[in-house]
Amino acid sequence: MSESRDAEAVSRFVESFAAQLVEAGMPRMPARVFGALLASDEGMLTSAELGEQLKISPAAVSGAVRYLSQVHMVSREREPGSRRERYRVHADQWYEALTNREAILKRWEDALRDGVASLGPATPAGRRIAETLAFFEFMGTELAAMMERWRAHRARTFDTLD
């Protein structure tokens, strides 16, 4: 962390943002690790740095990073010339996470289609499942369009800063 930064202020941000992620359904430790990585100037920290900053065990760091890797919110990298790993958030971590969710939505749509066919579209359960299917189809279409708009907006807003 940069010497000019207030470590206490960074810690307050990390814990506050992590609390918001937990409220949205993310497990607590991955939320804290993600917040710490997001708040680091380089967007990257080692396991030891995460453990020290968050006052957590190496096992807690490992479990959190495993979760975050599975949901495409961080990546692991080897330090050049070392066996140590660094964990990184990327500028497009939200895009990657949502793109991963898009694949999940497609699988849910397939399962819901099967449910409508199995239960019958004219039954109360079939109609309820059909409405749920329509919602996820709508979300999928909107998500794809929104991600296209985000890419254009990001290029206009942030690519000019590099």
- Whose tokens are 């409220």? That residue is 23
The mean pLDDT of 5-15, rounded to a whole number, is 91
pTM greater than the 0.85 cutoff: no
pLDDT in tens, 88-123: 997 677 777 666 677 788 889 999 999 999 999 999
